[in-house]
Structure 1
Amino acid sequence: MAYDAPFARCSRRQLLTMVASAVATGPLHAQLQAGSANRPVRVVVPFAPGGATDVIARVLGERMAQDFSQPVLVENKTGAAGLLAGEAVVRSVPDGTTLLLGSTSSMLSNKYLYKKAAYDPLVDLKPLTRVCAASIVMVVHSAAPVRNMQEFMAWIKERKSKFSYGSYGIGSQAQLVGAMLSDMAGADMVHVAYRGEAPMVQGMLTGEIQVSTGSVLSIKPHIDSGKLRPLAVTGLLRMPLLPDMPTFEQAGYQGDALNIGGWLGIAGPKDLPDATAKRWAEIINRAVASRQVTARIIAAGFIPLNTDTPEGTARLWAQEGPVWQRMFQRAGIEPT
């Protein structure tokens, strides 16, 4: 008979192996706990609607839903530096229907900034994969007499104690970059912490500060207009939107705050089954690799990543955690 021809030459053991393989690689909802497959998946985002992370979460969720064959909804839960969103996921049922899409700060480095956090991201979250690298770019005003990092370092060293550098918040990588460069040059630059990137960029444009570091999405329009001049980017990869801009390492400067790269990643609660975590990672990585999501990630100023596994992501988090702790200690940032 035609319908059983493909299995006619299979032994019982081979047939069982094929069935087991199909279960392991089949639709994700077949692996979720009983009764949960009819619920839509929530992707909790610790940022307000309309921002780059929110936009990426929504386009990513649409693409994930195609593989999952069920709705994937984005839920914005802001407040407490991302801790509220993380707590919502940590307290959720570990059935694969509640995930967290957050940044390095909300999913890792906050551990070293807040003593009274309700959870430990390295213990209470199960990493799935990273979505993109989120490096930041250092800029000076176009009127500054410097065009590269060597000239910048000589400039701030010569005019010691006469410069201020801005950041988008206490404990941000922007603060850590400025503090490290100030120490390297012996420049004694003053840190000015703003409440977000928008006021920080405005401070650059009005001359309140002489140097700052922030996202390409916020800063590139002013680079394009000629008002701000980029000097280097953090991390080990050049940015697609600034392909001619060297990393700090390529410019000749090494240091944790300069060479480490931020990222956006996805995690679930700690008791999420390994098989479910693996399947979600596969679905997310395929979504990131799609033309639509890749284009949106690049347009937001990030670098797409689509090869991480849950095990590899967990190792990365464990390795990077002490690095962030060390950077905070060196910058004199005490946990509150």
Structure 2
Amino acid sequence: MKTSITRRTVLQGLAAVGGGCLPGAGAIAQAGKAAWPARPIRVVVPFNAGGATDIIARTLGEALAQRVGQPVVIDNKGGAAGILGTDNVAKSPADGHTLLVSLSTSMLINQFLYAKLPYNPQKDLELITQIAAAPVTLVVHPSVPAGNMKELLAYVKAHKGKLSYGSWGVGSYAHLGGAYMSKTMDADMIHSAYKGEAPMIQDLLGGQLQLCFSSALNTKPFIDAGRLKAIGVTGRERMEILPQLPTIHEQGVQDDAYSIAGWVAMGAPAGTPQSIVDQLSAHVAEIAKEPKMLERIRGAGFMPLMNSPAAFRENYRRDLPIWKSLVELAGAKLD
């Protein structure tokens, strides 16, 4: 006897049984999918411990550990402008147990600076979230007779070959932004690269430099004390810790070079399963609401973002040609 099974018959049968009456249904749906995380998560910070990126990574790691029920271990692998640690993540298994918290330097800009970068950030990294935007302040020595960006540009242009600007390293925003200013104003400013922001700021205070871009974490105490004069902020939004200081953009100087800002972000090895990326993104969205997380980000002079992978990818695509152009204009190349 031939039996006819119609769609209506199947639907009626499923309705009669009901999902709740099928013991082990959830387990069957998850068959072949290992639970994540199955062991402690390692978060690589490609910079030394104690810096702003490290502090933000540790705060995020603590919150993530509470949510996933596994330890989150911060692994500082500093060196070579973030290359060593970022490369370590790029070459790790794509199983969600190795993550990266780094800066736009190692995740985007280095591909234009280094001729032999051991990883390709566009191919070897999965973008999870931009944790925070990292704008910087533009400050000058008090002897510079400029109170805003347009006055500073006019001063720089009028003193060709006589001014110096500092940076915390070749290829840093401080270098690229200063080089852009020098080139566009035909100023022939002298670039002095330092090993970190602290010695750069000391020389600015001493008058060996006339100007520099630097993080608010380093400049705010001296701005407040009147020992440095603040000209503006990069990016398009004012900093919460310096609310009175206008952006360069709102001062009418709207070049992309000054409107862009670096960022702190989370990544993972390329090929990390979408299900894990989605879980991480959902956890980050909740962590973004926690006062402690927001306090640490703002305290570093950064601006909370904690955006989705899709938003991160879109911002990355938007920023990439601007950074590429800045590196080329500065003539910055490293081996």
Q: TM-score, normalised by structure 1?
A: 0.88
Cα distance change, pair 176–14 in 1 and its aligned pair in 2 (3 A): farther
Cα distance change, pair 271–291 in 1 and its aligned pair in 2 (3 A): same
Distance 1:171 1:12 in 2: 67
Give yes or no for the alignment of 1:161 onto 2:156: no
CA contact (8 A) 2:127 2:267 kept: yes
* Partner of residue 320, structure 2: 321
Distance 2:18 2:328 in 1: 57
CA contact (8 A) 2:37 2:68 kept: no
Alignment of structure 1 residues 215-294 onto 2, 5 Å: 215-294=215-294
* Partner of residue 4, structure 1: none
What is the CA-CA distance between 1:285 and the residue it aligns to? 2.7
Alignment of structure 1 residues 1-336 onto 2, 5 Å: 11=15, 15=19, 34=34, 37-306=37-306, 308-336=307-335
Greater CA deviation, 35-44 or 56-65?
35-44
Q: Could you report, residue by residue, the CA deviation over 1:111-152 in whole angstroms, capped at 9, with x for unpaired residues?
A: 111121211011100000110000011001123222111221
CA contact (8 A) 1:238 1:246 kept: yes
Amino acid at match of 2:103: S
Q: Secondary structure at the match of 2:223?
A: helix
Cα distance change, pair 13–274 in 1 and its aligned pair in 2 (3 A): farther
Q: Secondary structure at the match of 1:250?
A: helix
Instruction: Give the fraction of aligned pairs with identical amino acids, expressed as a percent.
Output: 41
Distance 1:298 1:151 in 2: 29
Q: Secondary structure at the match of 1:263?
A: strand
Amino acid at match of 1:321: L
Amino acid at match of 1:322: P
Cα distance change, pair 324–12 in 1 and its aligned pair in 2 (3 A): farther
Distance 2:43 2:35 in 1: 19
When Rg is computed on C-alpha atoms for both structures, the one with the higher figure is 2
CA contact (8 A) 2:129 2:308 kept: yes
Greater CA deviation, 239-248 or 95-104?
239-248
Greater CA deviation, 125-134 or 325-334?
325-334
CA contact (8 A) 2:150 2:253 kept: no
Q: Secondary structure at the match of 1:139?
A: strand
* Partner of residue 26, structure 1: none
What is the CA-CA distance between 1:289 and the residue it aligns to? 2.4
CA contact (8 A) 2:240 2:301 kept: yes
CA contact (8 A) 2:216 2:301 kept: yes
Cα distance change, pair 190–92 in 1 and its aligned pair in 2 (3 A): same
Q: Secondary structure at the match of 2:251?
A: coil
What is the CA-CA distance between 1:335 and the residue it aligns to? 4.7
What is the CA-CA distance between 1:31 and the residue it aligns to? 11
Q: Secondary structure at the match of 1:42?
A: strand
Give structure 1 stretches of 5+ with no counterpart: 1-9, 24-29
Amino acid at match of 1:182: S
What is the CA-CA distance between 1:200 and the residue it aligns to? 0.8
Q: TM-score, normalised by structure 2?
A: 0.88
Q: Could you report, residue by residue, the CA deviation over 1:208-227 in whole angstroms, capped at 9, with x for unpaired residues?
A: 11000011111111111110
Give structure 2 stretches of 5+ with no counterpart: 1-13
What is the CA-CA distance between 1:322 and the residue it aligns to? 2.3
What is the CA-CA distance between 1:37 and the residue it aligns to? 3.2
Q: Could you report, residue by residue, the CA deviation over 1:213-257 in whole angstroms, capped at 9, with x for unpaired residues?
A: 011111111111110111111111111111111111111112232
Q: Secondary structure at the match of 2:34?
A: coil
CA contact (8 A) 1:32 1:95 kept: no
Cα distance change, pair 335–13 in 1 and its aligned pair in 2 (3 A): farther
* Partner of residue 5, structure 1: none
Q: Secondary structure at the match of 1:108?
A: helix
CA contact (8 A) 2:141 2:209 kept: no
